[in-house]
Structures are given as C-alpha cells and as structure tokens.
C-alpha cells in the first residue's frame, strides 16, 4: 500500500485505510470519544467529541506521517526525510521518523512558537529555522530535498498520508456506529478526505461536513470552480487550517465525498476553544475547535448523532491566553468602557462603587486627561471589566447611566 515518489498515483480505496490502521497498531492511539451534554442540548441530538488532541504528539498528524514514511523503500529511508511545518506536521514527522529509525530534518518558520520547536527536537528531528512565512520555509525544505536526496514528506497531498488520516474515520465508525454527521476542520484537506473516504465507503448515508476559517477558506471557491484555487495571504488564528490552497489529491476526494464545507469566524473559533476548555475540560487548538465553532454558529443544521473531530491540542501558551481573552470578549464576558467623570478627588472611587454594586469585576483602570475633547474639570476613565455575559454587560452600562455617567463606547 505504498505510494513512492516514482510510482503513479492510483485512487485510494477503503482497503488502503484498513491497511494503514493495521500499520498504526501500537503506534497511534485509538483516541477517546467523549460525549458533550452542552453541545447535545444545543444541537438537540447526541454530540460526541473525537479527541485527536490527545493523540501522541498532540494531533492526528502522526498517523499520516508514519504511514508515509513506513512505505518508503530502503533506499529512500537511507536518504532521510525532510518536512516543512510550523507545528503539528513537524512533530508528527519527527516522532514517526524516530520510531522507524529514519533521519529527519524539519524546516520551521523563524517565528514558530518555542514550545513547538522544542517538542520537534525532542521527538528526534533536526530543526532548521528558515523564513518569515511558511511558503519560504516550504521552499527551503524542497531545496534541501533536491540537494540531498531526502524524501519530502508533504503534510496532506499524498495518498499514504490521506490513508493514515483516514484511520480516524474507521475509529469513529467503531466508537459511534450510529453516527449520522461527522464534522471536521479542513486546511489542505488530508484529514477530511481520509475521514470522508473511510466513512462513506462503509456508511454512504452519513454526512461529512468540513469547516474552514473565514480568513483561510480556499475550499468554497475551489469547489465552485471545480479545481484547487489559491487564497492570497490567508489570515486566521487557526494555524492548523491556515492553508492557502487545497491539495490536488485531497481536493478530488473532498469534491466527491464531503457533503458541505462551512466557514467560521475568529470570534466563533475563540468561543469554541473556550467552551472546550470550560465544559469539556479539553485543551484544544483553534483549528481543532473549528468543528465545535460550526456547531455553535448553526446548531440546527446538524443531524445527530454528531461526531466533531478535535484534530489537535498543540496551542502555544501565549496564543492560548490571547484566544481565551478573545473568546471571553466574544461571549460577552469582557466589557471595555470609557466613562467620563468629574476630575476631582473621590470621583473614581464613586464610579467604582457603582460597578461593585452592579457585580462587575474590575480588571484594569486608566485615566485619560489630555484629550482635547475634555473640559477643564473632566477626565475619562477607561475600565476593563469581567462580566457574566451579554445581559450583565447591559445591566452594568445601565447602572452607570442611571448614576449619571456618560459612556463613550
């Protein structure tokens, strides 16, 4: 079941994915599937979370990387492998190579998060930092492959990789045989293509829905055009699905077997990540939370039982802090206001008393006294508050206005 660099590519079939599952026995974990009461109530049907964030290396990427490298010829293995990635694929290739006794070199962008660089090295790869953007990193890795003869391991555009990722679909069918809808994030398309092929080959009536970030949604225009199209300068916090162009091989499968591709906003991604952390007690990266974001944005659109694939949990702590703040703001649990007060002793304390009575938690306070719009005896106070939700935000603003304060939003 190997597709080497010099052999023609034939269509993937279910037996390829079953072969990959046997190959991955004892290597990749059969990850847990957890029910979500909150999402089940929201959708009106059972919702289960397929926890690939708990996979070895923290994402599904180990599956495809291992199958791809295991299928290399002895000569190809001796030449080593090379990959380009900002995180998940890098770690998957590093561990897979180490397990198979193959030398690996991974090119990562200069701005790659330090924890991901350290993890990739710990898994056994030689890490080379190159390029400000992933395209530059990719070009450096491909040049290295040409110069050294190392085999380039593509993150999604290879049949062996897709077969490995498709083993997630086989596990879904085993763990939730009554499933009616599978929701999965899409970047280049390897995971969605593999899952769709596995699931539809056994249960063609099951709907497979892909999810992309609005700022990196290459699949909707590609599907309309009937061929892979590029998105210039994709922008999203969800690095795992921040891909500017679908892979040629996964695109063909997605086009044929994925029933629908939806998009989600950055606010919806933040809210989904926060929900996974608070309600499911799961650390999930933004890309991994994209299926949950789709459920939150339009819960009535999904026929249950639903399985949402949490594809990864490798999130940089600094990004996590920012995303959580963003998610709380999107959920109406942060409120930032500029309030005009009289510039006299005790004025700030009086205003803070109003906020205290309204049960708003003050996180930060700063004065503005140099704005030309202010009167001689006026000052603006910028306050950042923690609240209990949108209704509480409205109550806090109403309390300030009732007390006679002008609010400049």
- 358 CB neighbour count, 10 Å cutoff: 18
Give residue 247's Cα distance to chain centre. Answer: 18
Only one residue has tokens 């190159």, namely 130
What distances in angstroms separate CA 87 from CA 30, 146, 269, 320, 382, one per listed residue?
Answer: 22, 23, 19, 15, 38
Which one of 61, 116, 200, 242 is the catalytic residue? Answer: 61
- 12 CB neighbour count, 10 Å cutoff: 25
Residue 50 catalytic? no
d(CA 284, CA 310): 7
d(CA 3, CA 8): 8
Residue 311 catalytic? yes
CA-closest candidate to residue 285, choices 325, 316, 306: 316
d(CA 27, CA 60): 12
**DSSP-assigned beta bridge partners for residue 365:** 383
Which one of 104, 271, 290, 311 is the catalytic residue? Answer: 311
Q: Is 113 left (phi over 0), alpha (psi -120 to 50) or beta?
A: beta
**DSSP-assigned beta bridge partners for residue 329:** none
Q: Which two structure tokens, joined as six digits, stand for 133?
A: 């953007």
CA-closest candidate to residue 285, choices 233, 213, 210: 213
Q: Which residues are catalytic?
A: 61, 311
């Amino acid at each position: 079941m190997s597709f080497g660099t010099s052999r023609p590519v034939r269509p993937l079939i279910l037996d390829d994915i079953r072969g990959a599952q046997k190959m991955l026995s004892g290597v990749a974990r059969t990850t847990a599937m957890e029910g979500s009461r909150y999402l089940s109530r929201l959708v009106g049907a059972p919702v289960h979370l397929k926890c690939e964030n708990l996979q070895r290396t923290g994402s599904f990427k180990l599956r495809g990387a291992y199958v791809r490298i295991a299928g290399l010829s002895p000569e190809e293995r001796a030449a080593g492998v090379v990959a380009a990635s900002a995180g998940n694929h890098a770690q998957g290739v590093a561990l897979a190579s180490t397990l198979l006794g193959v030398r690996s070199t991974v090119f990562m962008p200069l701005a790659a998060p330090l924890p991901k660089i350290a993890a990739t090295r710990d898994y056994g790869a030689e890490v080379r930092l190159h390029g400000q953007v992933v395209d530059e990193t990719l070009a450096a890795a491909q040049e290295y492959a040409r110069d050294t003869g190392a085999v380039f391991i593509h993150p999604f555009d290879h049949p062996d990789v897709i077969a490995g990722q498709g083993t997630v679909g086989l596990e879904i069918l085993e763990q939730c045989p009554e499933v009616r809808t599978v929701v999965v994030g899409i970047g280049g398309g390897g995971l969605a293509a593999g899952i769709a092929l596995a699931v539809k080959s056994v249960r063609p009536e099951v709907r497979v829905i892909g999810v992309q970030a609005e700022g990196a949604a290459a699949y909707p225009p590609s599907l309309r055009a009937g061929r892979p199209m590029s998105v210039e300068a994709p922008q999203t916090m969800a690095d795992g699905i921040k891909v500017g162009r679908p892979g040629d091989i996964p695109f063909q499968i997605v086009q044929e077997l994925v029933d629908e591709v939806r998009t989600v906003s950055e606010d919806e991604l933040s809210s989904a990540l926060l929900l996974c952390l608070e309600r499911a007690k799961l650390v999930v990266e933004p890309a991994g939370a994209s299926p949950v974001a789709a459920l939150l944005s339009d819960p009535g659109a999904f026929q249950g039982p639903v399985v949402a694939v949490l594809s990864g949990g490798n999130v940089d702590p600094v990004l996590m802090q920012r995303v959580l703040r963003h998610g709380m703001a999107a959920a109406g649990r942060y409120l930032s206001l500029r309030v005009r007060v009289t510039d006299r002793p005790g004025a700030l304390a009086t205003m803070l008393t109003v906020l205290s009575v309204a049960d708003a938690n003050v996180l930060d306070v700063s004065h503005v006294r140099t704005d030309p719009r202010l009167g001689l005896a006026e000052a603006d106070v910028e306050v950042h508050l923690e609240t209990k939700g949108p209704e509480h935000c409205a109550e806090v603003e109403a309390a300030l206005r009732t007390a006679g304060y002008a609010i400049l939003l």
